[in-house]
Amino acid sequence: MSKPGEPRWPSPWGEGRPGWHIECSVMASEILGAQIDVHVGGIDLAFPHHDNELCQSEAHFENHQWVNYFMHAGHLNIEGLKMSKSLKNFITIKEALNKYSSRQIRTLFLLSQWNKPLFFDAKSMEEAIVIEKSLSNFFANTTALLREFRLCQSESDARRHTLAPELDLLEALKDAKSQVHSALLDSFDTPTAMRAIQEIVSRTNTYLQRGRDNIDLQIVQTVVEYVSRIMRVFGMSNESSALGWGSSAASSDGQGVADRESILLPVARVLSDFRDVVRELALSGGDKQALLKLCDKIRDSDLPELGVIIDDHGDGRALVKIADPEEIQRDRERQEAEIAQRLLTKQLQAQKAEEKCQGRLAKGKQSPEEMFRTPEMLELYSAWDEHGIPTKDKAGEELTKNKVKKLAKEYDAQKKLHEKYLESLNA
């Protein structure tokens, strides 16, 4: 029935209006007809809303299955509570992207089962960031190695290294493919699929630690191609053939890939400046430390701003990796924030320890012989032994053995504090 002020139409039961359920039934039927393959909605709509839709539509079309499959998604929870405008914990995608990258947010989604609650909070995002970062490092390291391999292929002995470590890695890749396939067949179980991806990435990273001269990069490429393909399936990259995350094919102004000069000139300028300073140092007889600091500067500051990462390896040969300058900057800011937070925590702990120490020293000013003879204590006790430990209460009654034992412990504790206090005066 219609409430006052609402639209109304005559019916056998009085004047009323269509309800929420019939509105959805009519709209869906108008567009999709007498049968729908997949019907989605939040888990809170399963009953009574979707049940009502079924009853209405199946009665209208006189069939027994209006919908083949229902997919009820879990709620988005912000800091443990369902996201709701009424709770004022509503976060838009635009707001989330101000703090996290789109790939980090997508990683969070993949780590959660689609039909279960998704928890969006600092702890969950921290886990997503760590996993996304591990994948980014994996892609950066492997694509750099593969690029280097292609450039230096003429110097290679062209031998395949298919020994026990390579066979183990191939078997691990086979297991990963099987686990990912089974997980996605099981109601799109992306968390399990992501765990399988993390495992093969970890196994490959371990394999890479054998060093350039002891790995088979063709097998590594097979792993990278598979992980890249699954990431594309998951919407983490939109490039159909690139390894890893790929590269942005268009600039923000839509002009497409930058020309050769705009790509090479900034890097060339950095290298030219580096050469100028090295030359000046050499001519002036500069020391090795100045040269090493200059090398650190180009590695840690100049090139990262251009999206170039130089990763020093134990064999003396650095690995050159290409990354998004904005991501490098975000990682640097996050690391600086973590360092600042650790420093602040350390300072607060030191301050707390100092305050505690000062408090103990202040308490230790009083000698143990006088601690039970203060005006407050004179209201409780009437007799003391040779050390100043009470033996009788105010009424003159002997204290119990347990009470005397407890007071003696307090005396010993105060004696130690007083000794520390006296030592601080002599320090």
pLDDT in tens, 59-72: 999 999 999 999 99
Residue-level pLDDT at 253 = 37
Other C-beta atoms within 10 Å of 303: how many? 21
**Pairwise CA distance, residues 324 & 247, whole Å:** 8
SS3 334: helix
What does the pLDDT look like over 107-134, one tens digit per residue?
A: 999 999 999 999 999 999 999 999 999 9
* Burial letters 193-212, b for 16+ CB under 10 A, else e: bbbbbbebbebbeebbeeee
Q: What pLDDT does 261 receive?
A: 62
Residue 385 pLDDT > 70, yes or no? yes
pLDDT, residue 326, reads 84
In which order are the strands placed within the sheet that holds 81-82?
81-82, 76-78, 118-120
Looking up tokens 């790509």 gives 263
End-to-end distance of the chain based on CA atoms, in angstroms? 88
| 147: number of Cβ within 10 Å | 15
- What is the SS3 string spanning 178-234? HHHHHHHHCCCCHHHHHHHHHHHHHHHHHHHCCCHHHCCHHHHHHHHHHHHHHHHHC
Cα distance between residue 285 and residue 133, in whole Å: 42
pTM value is: 0.68
- Using CA atoms of 298, 304, 307, 312 in order, give the dihedral in degrees to the nearest 10: 70
